A and B are shown apart, each in its own frame.
Chain A
Amino acid sequence: MDVQKIRKDFPILQREVNGQPLVYFDNAATSQTPVQVINTIVDYYKKYNANIHRGVHSLSQEATDAYEAARKKIQKHFNAAQSHEIIFTSGTTHSINIVSNGYAELLKKGDQLIVSALEHHSNIVPWQMLCEKTGAELKVIPMNEDGVLIMEAFEKLLSDKTKLVFVNHVSNALGTVNPIKEIIDKAHAVGAQVLIDGAQSAPHIQADVQALDADYYVTSAHKLCGPTGVGMLYGKQSALKRLPPYQGGGEMIAEVTFEKTTYADLPHKFEAGTPNIAGGIAFGAALDYINNIGMDQIAAYEEELLNYATDLLKKIPGLKIYGIAPQKTAVVSFNVEGIHPYDIGSILDKLGIAVRTGHHCAQPIMDYYQIPGTVRASFSFYNTFEEIDSMVEALKKAIQMLQ
């Protein structure tokens, strides 16, 4: 893997911030976009912008073909059995809401849902709303000091009342890789379905939805070098058929009369309205880009970055890393004793280093550690060891100013 060559594909990496060369370490929030993906979007609007699935004219046909080809790329990448099991959405949050809204009709009072302590708010709040609507109960798999889920506790939570379990593959705040295969198997053993939030894992770990036997797997394109505003919901055909539609509108119907409307087949049942066509096509292009480099190469290189950064950061006096699971993606969440993460983030920004500070939309994790938030540096395959050196130098400067 030639990082210098890869970096040339990302125009944004050439820019400066506050007079300093940009060091972009907020990849867990959104990844940057290579020129190949940008060109796909430009090409679409320049050459074949048209509404899909309905027009008989050539442009509409070309746009439909490109959009459906992207669906097939996504299917192939995540190894779904059939392309109609891939639903285009506006992103992970939308995907989760499709499932949680559908479940409102499938649950009854006394049913139980299980969530993990490591979730992003987007994989907590929709389910809390669902519980309020249905009278179902929400149970939480606790985590330990290392940021690892306590599996014995999970087993105790499972019962014939459990209807759905939803966990992320990777924690956005800590980078912990969760044992999702084990979670899926144990949940299935009591007859529950499982939704995997792959927003943080999809850029780093190849997920095979059939091998995992996941009922639902959701992710966003913008974490994977694609554009914002597009994502996907994978659902097993049997699960999606059982799930009532979420939004009504055009595209999702088979027949409409004022007496009764029948819904279209998958995937259209969940794709009401004109979708983000350019975004969907670009999602496919982003997967092409990543697969061209190779998921295994990406994962191996990012692990080197993570280990390098972890070793350097550990040497800084008073610095504590949160989340030290044996299996992690390239995320380091940390604080320096006596300094607010916000102060560190502000100074790093002045020095051209983009990191995230705050609770990372995962307040329950911050509550567990009793901290207001952390500084989070998250790396991608286009980052370099030199950039990590720059961050560590900048961090030392910040600490000097702030202590």
Chain B
Amino acid sequence: MIETALKALFILLYATFVGFMFMGIIRIVTARIHRRVGPPIYQPILDTIKLLSKKSNITHGLIYDFGILYAVGATILAVMFIPLGSIGVLRAYGDLILITFLLEIPMLGIMFAAMSSGNPYAGIGAQRALLTLLAIQVPLGFAIVALAEFYGTFSTYEIVMAQQTMGWSIFHFPLLLAAIAYDLVLQAMFGKEPFDIMIAPGEISLGPMVEFGGKHMGLLQIQHAIALFAETLFFANIFLGGGVVTAFSSSILNTIAGLAVLLVKQVAVLLIATFMGAIFPRFTIDQAAKFYWKWPTIIAALGAVLASL
């Protein structure tokens, strides 16, 4: 019981901290591509502290508050199910389908909160976010199907373990296709260009985020950090072999090494998304839908069919 609680606390703190670092990395890397200096890596943490300590906060009602809490709570729930190296709280129940759903539902909380404010920008942002979700769901679904059919199990942890003997998923051709499709989907999940249609800064005033400020926005920053961590972690686990290290005799050393391995993989996933985001301009929503329903879907469906043979 206490051990579980400690593990959970560690996962939570680690995920939040690394997530904030990821947010900082995105900003620095983007700045360097733009030939700017960029903020220090800990800038997102400072921003969040500032937001949380605002003296005046507004609300639009119960749903406005609860939606935010729900988004944060659901993200914490999701991160507990994903195996983090050899540390896991609920990884025995870390079902692929469950995690895929759990990674999507924080958005539902944010949508509820944003829409309850009655701001039309939030409404149009919600519309765009949902259509993006609809667009990515097809390739995402096929990628998950490919994984489940290739390994014959839905357990994320077992998939990680299977990769220790069979080699990383991306070295098998059907799953390589699935991984490419999933990586394109991640771009929209992160909300990075060219698929940042739902927030679209300068176009619809950050869409769903338009009304949030103060501690609501601070909580959403925390949610964003954990979600960033969870999404990259999930990708690293299912496609890049996860972080299982057994080289050392001490289990603590193994755990730390596992975390380090995972971190490298996560940063790699993140950098790909950042590079893509820094080069491309924004799509319109129907372009995004048509894009996702074409190439990523074809690639992922091919992967799924090949995996099922």
Partners in one complex: no
Binding site for A on B (CB under 8 A): none
